Each structure stands twice: as structure tokens, then as C-alpha cells.
């Protein structure tokens, strides 16, 4: 088998604040729907924030039997549901003849935070004997991958990436490389997160990362004046990556081809990005080099765009450093303006948005674009979707710890 396999996306699955499947999520993104609402899962009266991008009208027992669901943290539940959708969408048959060549690589930034909180309360209130034997298997971030592989029977390369907000994109990039070098025919990959918990919100609030704006129409406003932090979101974005050889043999539908992956470290600060977006720029250039294209060939960039004062500006600087004159015509949107920031899942959701932008020749907007920051002087596709024939799309994810991950997708052509 060739060690330079072409890799394509043949299936997508999503749970997000915009919808409980990929189609609804994408349709609402194109409409510019705001998925951010007041938090209902928790009592946040003692917190300084009240908004998040929660899943809506989602009942896990519609998908997983109650007893089994109780043995999974929500981040794992979300991954299983989205992975089932992606595999079904790909019409990928996982059987005794194919299972060893189909792998799973799904990441989570913080794993089972809710499980930890519950178990800690049980320990303090009722003693160590009351802590569930399922505590550790529910908590650890790799269990999304583990449970998906068990649920679907995929026995190929199996792992999990944890790189904060870059997790989903790093996971897809690593899965891409696994197939490219011939170690698997298909990979079920992406990110998942269930961070709307007391400890997660308290911790991010203490680090001053979250917006304290109580108006859902202005709290998450990437690249705008007055932005003051990100809004938490939850969900999962899972794709099926497949070698072109395998996809063509099955007659599979192809959404897009993945052609480039770049990942770098800032080596600068635990939360703040490197000045001028130096690390992010190197990751973008690495992805361009991997794809063997020039920056000017990219028409659309799905930005990290979290709505933090420093983060957005630094990403714009990184884009300008990488694209030069081409930055003036590049379309750049932050779909987090609608979904909020799904942490480890965000790269999975945004890879799906990028693939569907290519398929449909349509770009989802950056909503809440009313008062542009003059220093963020790029075309952010404000408020309304735009039509554009896209050959190459780039997706950025930049995480705490100085993790930078970038993938490049291409319109498929034989």
C-alpha cells in the first residue's frame, strides 16, 4: 500500500448548540442562528456569567440505553452519538473483514469534569466506599475513543489527543496522517466536550477567560470592539476520514479532501498566545507546506475567533503574517459567534463547517458584527452567509498551553 494515500471526508456527525445532528447544525449556521442562551443546566446565581451554548431538547436515552448512558460522562455520550451519525452518513460497514483497518481518534480538552465533581461530593459527604467503580473510566479523556470503538467495533489505530482548544483539530490532523501513511483505511475522528459544569465555569471565570456580558446578542462577538471573553459551548464534531482508494471502492460520497496539517507550540505562556501570533502563523504555514500550496490559494478560513480581546487580535496578526497581501481578500468567519466555544470539540465542528462550505459554495457568517475592532481589519463575513466557490479552506484552532493546530481542506477532484 502506498505511504502517501489521499484522504477524504466521507461522513459527518454533530451535536452542537445549533442542532442535534450535522444537517440541522449547518442549516442554522448558514441562517446565522444564535445558539447562545441563558444556562439551564446549572444554578449560576453565584457566578458572574449566565450564558452558554447548551444542547437543546437533547435526551441521551433517545440514543443510548439508560443503564449504559449512566456509565458514561456526557462528553463520551456526545461522542458516541455523533460518531454513530458520522459512520451512518458515510455508509461505512464495520465488520470482521474491515474492523482492523478502521480506527478511532477522538479528543477531549477536559474530559469528565462533571463525573469528577459528582464523585468528589460523594467522597466528602459519604466516604470513599461510595465513589463509583466507574469513576475512573468515566473521567479519563480517552474514554470517548474507547467507548466509540467498543460501540462501533472499530479495532484499528486507537488514541486520544488532549491539547485544550486545539484538541479537535489535532485529532483530525493525526488521524489524517495515520491514513496517509497507510496504517488505516478509515478513521473516526474529531472532538467532544461537556464543560458546562460548576468547576469548569468557575475555573475559566477565575482565569478571566469567559465573557461576563449578560446579553446573549453581544456576549460572543468575535473581532468586535468591547469583546470581553468567550462563551462556553458543548457538543461533539466527528468526521469519518477515509483513504481515497477505500472511498472510491465503496462508491462513497465525498465531502472534501484533507490535504494539509500543521501543528506547533508557542513555548510562551500557559494561557496567552505568543506575540503577533507567531506560533499560530507557523502552524498555518506548516499546513500550507504540507498541502504544497501558497497562502493566496486559500479562499476561506474558519477562524479560532473566540471573542477574547487578545486572542482575536493575535489571530488576525497571525493571518496577516501568513497571508500577506492575500489577507485582504481572504474570507474569514468565526462560527463560534453562534455556537460559543466548544473547547476540545470546537475543531471537529469547525472542520465540518469547512467541509460543508466547500461542498455548498457557501460560508457561514460571523454574527453579532456591529462594531468592528479597527485592528481586526479582515473580512469576517459579517452577519449573513455569503456565496463563494471554494477550492481550499483552512481551519484554525489555538489552545491554552500554546497549542496550535491547522488543517486545510480541498474541493475533491479526481
> How do the pLDDT tens digits run along the chain, 414 residues long?
446 899 999 999 999 999 999 999 999 999 999 999 999 999 999 999 999 999 999 999 999 999 999 999 999 999 999 999 999 999 999 999 999 999 999 999 999 999 999 999 999 999 999 999 999 999 999 999 999 999 999 999 999 999 999 999 999 999 999 999 999 999 999 999 999 999 999 999 999 999 999 999 999 999 999 999 999 999 999 999 999 999 999 999 999 999 999 999 999 999 999 999 999 999 999 999 999 999 999 999 999 999 999 999 999 999 999 999 999 999 999 999 999 999 999 999 999 999 999 999 999 999 999 999 999 999 999 999 999 999 999 999 999 999 999 999 999 998
Q: Of residues 220, 269, 304, 376, which has the active-site annotation? A: 304
Helix 346-360 / helix 22-31 crossing angle, nearest 10 deg: 70
**Catalytic (active site) residue 165:** yes
Cα–Cα distance between 61 and 278 in angstroms, integer? 45
Fold of domain 7-250: Peroxisomal Thiolase; Chain A, domain 1 (3.40.47)
Alpha helices in 97-214 (DSSP H): 113-126, 135-139, 143-152, 167-180, 198-206
C-alpha radius of gyration, the chain, whole number = 20
**Catalytic (active site) residue 220:** no
Reduce the DSSP state of residue 282 to 3 states and report it. helix
What was the pLDDT predicted at 87? Answer: 98
Q: Report how many helices (DSSP H) and strands (DSSP E) the chain contains, helices first.
A: 13, 14
State in words which class domain 260-410 has.
alpha beta
**Catalytic (active site) residue 120:** no
Count the neighbouring beta carbons within 10 Å of the beta carbon of residue 215.
11
What was the pLDDT predicted at 414? Answer: 87
Q: What is the pTM of this model?
A: 0.97
Sorted by where each begins, the domain ranges of the chain are: 7-250, 260-410
Q: Of residues 165, 220, 368, 376, which has the active-site annotation? A: 165
CB 20 within 8 A of CB 199: no
Q: Of residues 120, 220, 341, 376, which has the active-site annotation? A: 341
Amino acid at each position: 500500500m502506498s505511504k502517501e494515500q489521499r484522504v477524504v471526508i466521507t461522513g459527518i456527525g454533530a451535536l452542537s448548540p445549533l442542532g442535534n445532528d450535522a444537517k440541522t447544525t449547518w442549516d442554522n449556521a448558514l441562517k446565522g442562528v444564535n445558539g447562545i442562551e441563558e444556562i439551564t443546566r446549572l444554578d449560576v446565581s453565584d457566578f458572574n456569567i449566565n450564558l452558554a451554548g447548551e444542547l437543546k431538547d437533547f435526551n441521551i436515552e433517545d440514543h443510548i440505553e439508560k443503564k449504559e448512558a449512566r456509565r458514561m460522562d456526557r462528553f463520551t455520550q456526545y461522542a458516541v452519538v455523533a460518531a454513530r451519525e458520522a459512520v451512518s452518513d458515510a455508509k461505512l460497514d464495520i465488520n470482521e473483514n474491515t474492523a482492523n483497518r478502521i480506527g478511532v481518534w477522538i479528543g477531549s480538552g477536559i474530559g469528565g469534569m462533571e463525573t469528577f465533581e459528582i464523585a468528589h461530593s460523594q467522597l466528602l459527604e459519604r466516604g470513599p466506599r461510595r465513589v463509583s467503580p466507574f469513576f475512573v473510566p468515566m473521567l479519563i479523556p480517552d474514554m470517548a475513543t474507547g467507548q466509540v470503538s467498543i460501540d462501533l467495533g472499530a479495532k484499528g489505530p486507537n488514541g486520544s489527543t488532549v491539547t485544550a482548544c486545539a484538541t479537535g483539530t489535532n485529532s483530525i490532523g493525526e488521524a489524517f496522517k495515520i491514513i496517509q501513511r497507510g496504517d488505516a483505511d478509515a478513521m473516526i475522528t474529531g472532538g467532544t466536550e461537556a464543560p458546562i459544569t460548576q468547576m469548569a465555569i468557575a475555573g475559566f471565570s477565575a482565569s478571566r477567560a469567559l465573557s461576563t456580558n449578560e446579553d446573549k446578542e453581544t456576549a460572543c462577538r468575535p473581532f468586535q470592539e468591547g469583546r470581553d471573553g468567550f462563551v462556553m459551548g458543548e457538543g461533539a464534531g466527528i468526521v469519518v476520514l477515509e483513504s481515497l482508494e477505500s472511498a472510491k471502492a465503496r462508491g462513497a460520497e465525498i465531502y472534501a479532501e484533507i490535504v494539509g496539517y500543521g501543528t506547533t507550540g508557542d513555548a510562551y505562556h500557559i494561557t496567552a498566545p505568543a506575540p503577533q501570533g507567531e506560533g499560530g502563523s507557523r502552524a498555518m504555514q506548516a499546513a500550507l507546506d504540507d498541502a504544497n500550496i501558497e497562502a493566496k490559494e486559500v479562499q476561506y478560513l474558519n477562524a479560532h475567533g473566540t471573542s477574547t480581546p487578545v486572542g482575536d487580535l493575535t489571530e488576525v496578526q497571525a493571518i496577516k503574517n501568513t497571508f500577506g497581501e492575500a489577507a485582504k481578500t481572504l474570507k474569514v468567519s468565526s462560527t463560534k459567534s453562534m455556537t460559543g466555544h466548544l473547547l476540545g470539540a470546537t475543531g471537529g465542528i469547525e472542520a465540518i463547517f469547512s467541509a460543508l462550505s466547500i461542498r455548498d459554495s457557501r460560508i457561514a457568517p460571523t454574527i453579532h458584527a456591529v462594531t468592528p475592532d479597527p485592528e481586526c481589519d479582515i473580512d469576517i463575513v459579517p452577519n449573513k452567509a455569503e456565496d463563494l466557490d471554494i477550492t481550499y479552506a483552512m481551519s484554525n484552532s489555538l489552545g491554552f498551553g500554546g497549542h496550535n493546530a491547522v488543517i486545510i481542506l480541498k474541493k475533491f477532484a479526481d
